[in-house]
Structure 1
Amino acid sequence: MRVEIYKLEGESRWCLEVIDEYNNSTVWDDTFEIDSDALKEVQRIIRHDGISSLIGPEGDEEWI
């Protein structure tokens, strides 16, 4: 699993994206004023829902 916190070109707020071992991507709709807020959000999700909530299916299966 890879956590990416980045700014899009020309933007002032931080984006949050998690990419799992199967290359499935979870991108937050909301952006964050500071990068540490994005990190705290992904840590909160992992503590509350478990890391498996951010892992999609392997291969070409449709994730519902």
Structure 2
Amino acid sequence: MKKSILNLGNALSKVAQKQVKGGTKLTTPGECDAIEGNVPYGCPCKSNWCAPGLRCDTAQQSHLDGICVYS
């Protein structure tokens, strides 16, 4: 039985693990005060403002164009 439990599902990449609810730390307002091109995950953004590896998801509403999420 232990073998069958250990073989369930697939291993998640680090990026996929962070997308699981609770897998990323929430950003505080001070962390969102970043330079264009270096805005962290979960912060409001405009196009091309997000840090490398992130994109501005315009499907999520914010006071700007969207929210920085993993690409």
Q: Under TM normalisation by the shorter chain, which class is it? A: under 0.3
Higher helix share: 1
Which structure would you say has the larger Rg? 2
Higher strand share: 1
TM-score by length of 2: 0.21
